[in-house]
Chains A and B, each alone.
Chain A
C-alpha cells in the first residue's frame, strides 16, 4: 500500500487560516490502513483544528467526509454537489488522491494533510516500512524476493557494499542491510550460485528517470 504520515497541524493551519469554511476529506484505502488519513484521522484533525481556531477567536466551519477512494472519479463525484460551498479542501489521501481531487475540482484549493512516504507494509501496529520504489521493471525474481532498489540505501544491484555490518546498513544500526537479507534468502533457497551472476546495468527509463509514467492496457479498455 501507499504509506503516508500525518503532517504537523501547524502546517495545515498555515494553509487554511484565512478560510471560513473547509472540508477535511479522508480516504478509505491505504491511508486508512496506515492510520494517517481515514475516517478516524479526519475526525481527529477536524476536532484539533476547531479547537485551535476557537482559541484564536475565529469561527471556522469544518466539515468531515471520507470517500471510498480519492484516486477514482466515481467516488470523487460524491462531493460534486457540496464542493462549491467550501473555501478549501484538506485532503488526507496520498499525493495521488490530493491531485486527483484537485483535477476534479478546479476552482477550490486542495491542500495535502499528509506526507506521502513510500510503498510499504505494516510490520506491526504503528510501524510501516518500505518495500517497493515502483521502478517499473521488477527484479525480485533474481534477488530472492527481497528488493535491492528499495531496501539498499544505495540501491546496489550487486551488493552488499563494504558498509554492511552485523546485518545492519552503514547508515543506521537500526536499518537492516537489504543485501544481508537477500543473501539470507538465497542461502535458504539454496540459490547462492545466483549471487555470483552479475546483475547488468539497469534500464531506469521505466523508473522516475523516464518522466511521468503511464500504463496503457488495451485489453481492459472499454
Chain B
C-alpha cells in the first residue's frame, strides 16, 4: 500500500475499504459548540468530515477554524477551500496553517458565485481556479516549495481531493474534465449529489473506459431529501443539480409527515445500488442540516462499523 500522507481517509481507501465521509456546515456565528455538536452526531460513522467553505457564498465561521476544532477533538477533517475568496498568497498561507494543525485532507473548489450569498456586491478573487489549486497543493507537498519557488520548511502533507459534477453541462466534457483534474494531481473525488443514477452510471462507464477509476478514488455524493418541496427546489433552483421527475413524484406520493423517511429510504436504496458499481470507492453523505440521519444511512447500507486504521 503506497500511502503518501498521514491521512486516515487515504489509508482506508488504499486498504480497499469503501470510505464514508460526510460534511458539516459551520455556523453563522462564533460558537464553537455548533460545529462540535454536528461532528459528535456523525463521528463514529464516518472516516472524514468535510467542512464547507462559506458554501453558497453565505458568510460563516471559516472552514479552517472549524477544521481545527474537529482536529482538537481527535477527528479527521477535510478542509474545503474555494478559490473565490483568497488569492494565491492567502491560499498557500491557509494550507500551511491547516498543516500546522495536522489537517491532512483538502478539497479544492472554485466555489459558488458570490451573487448567491449575503455579499452580492463583493468582489470575487479567482486568482487561480480549482484545477490550479490542486496543482498548487500537490506542488507544495511533493516539491516542498511555494509557488514562488522558495523552499517550505515542513511542507504540508495533504491528501488532495476535488469535486466532480457528472450532471452539469456540457456532458461531453465531464469525463475529460475528470481526466484533467487527475492530471493536475487530484487523489480523491467527491461528486455532486447523485439522484439521476442512470446518468451517473454512464459517466462512470466513460470514466472506467479511460481507466480513470484506477487513478482516483471516487466517492459518490449522496444527499437525502427531506421533503418533496426540497426535491422540487433542488431540481429547479440549484445549479448543476439533476433530480429526475420520478424521484419528486415518489416523495410527493407519500403523506408529508412520511416524506423525510421516504427521502432516507431513497438515499439508502441509491447507496445499495452504487455499492455494486465498479469504480465507486466510497460515499460522501451530505445531509444538509440533517446530520443526525447520517448514522442511520451508514448503518442501513452495511457501511457500519467503520474500519479501524
Q: Write the residues of chain A forming the contact surface with B, with a CB cutoff of 8 angstroms.
A: 153-167, 170-171, 177, 180, 183-184, 192, 195-196, 198-202, 204
Contact = CB atoms under 8 A, between A and B. Distances in A.
B132 interface: yes
Contacts of B30: none
B236 to A, nearest CB: 11
26 contacts: A153-B115, A154-B110, A156-B130, A158-B132, A160-B170, A160-B173, A161-B130, A161-B240, A162-B192, A162-B239, A163-B168, A163-B240, A164-B240, A167-B169, A167-B170, A171-B113, A183-B173, A196-B176, A196-B179, A196-B183, A198-B131, A198-B135, A198-B183, A201-B135, A202-B128, A204-B127
A180 to B, nearest CB: 6
A167 B115 CA distance: 19
A86 B142 CA distance: 66
Given A162-B239, A200-B132, A201-B132, A156 B183 contact: no
Chain B contact patch, size range: 35 or more
B129 A159 contact: yes
A163 B173 contact: no
B172 interface: yes
A155 B84 CA distance: 10
B113 A153 contact: yes
Nearest to B185: A198
The residue among B131, B136, B165, B192 with the most chain A CB atoms within 10 A of its own CB is B131
Interface in B118-152: 124, 126-132, 135-136, 147
Contacts of A200: 132
Interface in B218-247: 239-240
A165 B169 contact: yes
A91 to B, nearest CB: 26
B88 interface: yes
B65 interface: no
A132 to B, nearest CB: 17
B173 A165 contact: no
Nearest to A173: B239
A161 B164 CA distance: 9
B240 A157 contact: no
B78 to A, nearest CB: 18
Contacts of B132: 157-158, 198-201
A18 B172 CA distance: 62
Closest 4 CB pairs of A and B: A162-B165, A170-B239, A158-B131, A163-B239
A161 B112 CA distance: 9
The residue among B111, B163, B165, B192 with the most chain A CB atoms within 10 A of its own CB is B165
A154 B239 contact: no
Contact of A166 (B111, B169, B184, B192): B169
Given A165-B169, A195-B180, 6 more contacts: A154-B111, A162-B164, A183-B172, A183-B173, A201-B132, A201-B136
A201 B128 contact: yes
Nearest to A197: B180
Nearest to B242: A165
B201 to A, nearest CB: 19
A156 B239 CA distance: 17
A160 B131 CA distance: 11
A44 to B, nearest CB: 30
B150 to A, nearest CB: 16
A200 B51 CA distance: 28
Interface string B90-124: 00000000000000000000111101100000001
A164 B88 contact: no
Nearest to A200: B132
Given A162-B165, A180-B169, A154 B84 contact: yes
B129 A156 contact: yes
Contacts of A163: 112-113, 168, 239-240
Nearest to B115: A171
The residue among B113, B164, B170, B240 with the most chain A CB atoms within 10 A of its own CB is B170
Nearest to A187: B172
A86 B42 CA distance: 73
B53 to A, nearest CB: 14
Nearest to A162: B165
Nearest to A156: B129
Contacts of B239: 162-163, 165, 170
Nearest to B129: A156
Nearest to B163: A162
Contacts of B176: 192, 195-196
Given A154-B110, A164-B240, A177 B169 contact: yes
Contacts of A201: 88, 128, 132, 135-136, 147
B136 to A, nearest CB: 8
A64 B131 CA distance: 53
